[in-house]
């Protein structure tokens, strides 16, 4: 795993440092939080995450 501040050049791992991540899931929900660490497969560990539901129209 790669931890932020571990001495690696972050420009080689990511183009820009990322502080927040937004992810739309199948249920149109959204997760927002601070990235604590990640690995070469882009598995993420988030801190202070918050999940919210988007309002959808019924009758798909």
pLDDT in tens, 14-42: 544 455 555 555 667 777 888 888 888 88
Does 24 map to a domain? yes
Within-domain flag for 35: yes
Counting the structural domains of the chain, the total is 1
Q: Long-range contacts: 27-34, Cβ < 8 Å, 24+?
A: 27/53, 28/53, 28/54, 28/56, 29/53, 29/54, 30/54
Share the mean pLDDT of the chain. Answer: 67
- Whether 38 is covered by a domain: the verdict is yes
Question: Is the pLDDT higher at 39 or at 60?
Answer: 39
Q: Which domain holds residue 31?
A: 2-53
Residue 31 forms part of a structural domain: yes
Whether residue 60 lies inside any domain: the answer is no
User: When comparing pLDDT for 19 and 50, which is higher?
Assistant: 50
Q: Is residue 29 part of a domain?
A: yes
């Amino acid at each position: 795993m790669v931890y932020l501040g571990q001495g690696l050049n972050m420009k080689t791992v990511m183009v820009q440092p990322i502080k927040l991540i937004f992810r739309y899931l199948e249920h149109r929900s959204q997760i927002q939080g601070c990235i604590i660490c990640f690995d070469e497969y882009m598995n993420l560990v988030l801190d202070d995450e918050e999940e919210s539901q988007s309002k959808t129209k019924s009758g798909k």
